[in-house]
Structure 1
Amino acid sequence: MQQIPDLGKNSLGKPDPWAKFRGLAWWQLVLSIVPMLLMLVGGAIGGVIGATGLFANLSLARKPFGTPAKLLAMLGVVVATYLGYFLVVGLIHNLLKG
């Protein structure tokens, strides 16, 4: 029986920080990274929300869904992260401006 390699370690036995990105299709990589663009616009708040979207999409990319369902789910996460960011920023703005 063939052994499945451990994607979390490199050849030297050290943790591989890029293991979650290996083996994904190009569109899965793009949809996983797009939420992190919030970090450029929103600083720490955008970074936290973007990282949440990144990890959610990486998780969805590894699920055994069909391609159309996976694409729609990952697009939904991207839209939800941007809407969530604008909601949080809007609430903070309203709280500070009174």
Structure 2
Amino acid sequence: MAQLPDLLPDSAVKPDRWAQFRGLSPWQAGGTVLPLVLIVVGGLLGGLAGGAATMINLKIARSGLSSAMQALAMVGVVLAAAIAYLVAAALLSAALG
């Protein structure tokens, strides 16, 4: 008996937006999304810095580092993103004003 072809393309299946956060502990998930606060504070520039920091923190959370090292690295990434936002905002302000 012939096998019927799959008539539904893979693109018709709705992707799971939260799949990359599944399996993380609550503190890891919180540390991963913490940089997104920069969106509220900094608009587009804050969103760019916060989005990049979120992706980096997600990689850190999935790494094999110990919990203490993951926490320190995530805090460092959040601070670096905030500093990068402040420097970019200052440079843009100086260039425009």
Q: TM-score, normalised by structure 2?
A: 0.82
Aligned residue in 1 for 2:88: 88
**Equivalent residues in 2 for 1:32-43, closer than 5 Å:** 32-43=32-43
**SS state of the match for residue 18, structure 2?**
coil
Task: Return the offset for 1:16.
Answer: 1.4
Task: Give the CA RMSD over aligned residues.
Answer: 1.1
The letter for the 2-side match of 1:64 is G
Unpaired runs of 5+ residues, structure 1, are 1-12
Aligned residue in 1 for 2:76: 76
The letter for the 1-side match of 2:52 is T
The letter for the 1-side match of 2:45 is I
Aligned residue in 2 for 1:53: 53
Aligned residue in 2 for 1:15: 15
Task: Return the offset for 1:15.
Answer: 2.4
Runs of 4+ in 1 over 3 A off after TM superposition: none
The structure with more helix, counted as a fraction of residues: 2
The letter for the 2-side match of 1:32 is T
The letter for the 2-side match of 1:46 is G
Task: Return the offset for 1:14.
Answer: 4.4
Task: Return the offset for 1:18.
Answer: 0.4
The 2-side partners of 1:87 and 1:29 are apart by 27
Structure with bigger RCO (C-alpha 8 Å, 6+ apart): 2
Unpaired runs of 5+ residues, structure 2, are 1-12
Q: Sequence identity, in percent?
A: 39
**After superposition, what is the alpha-carbon deviation per residue over 1:14-40, rounded to whole angstroms, capped at 9, x for unaligned?**
421101111111111111111101111
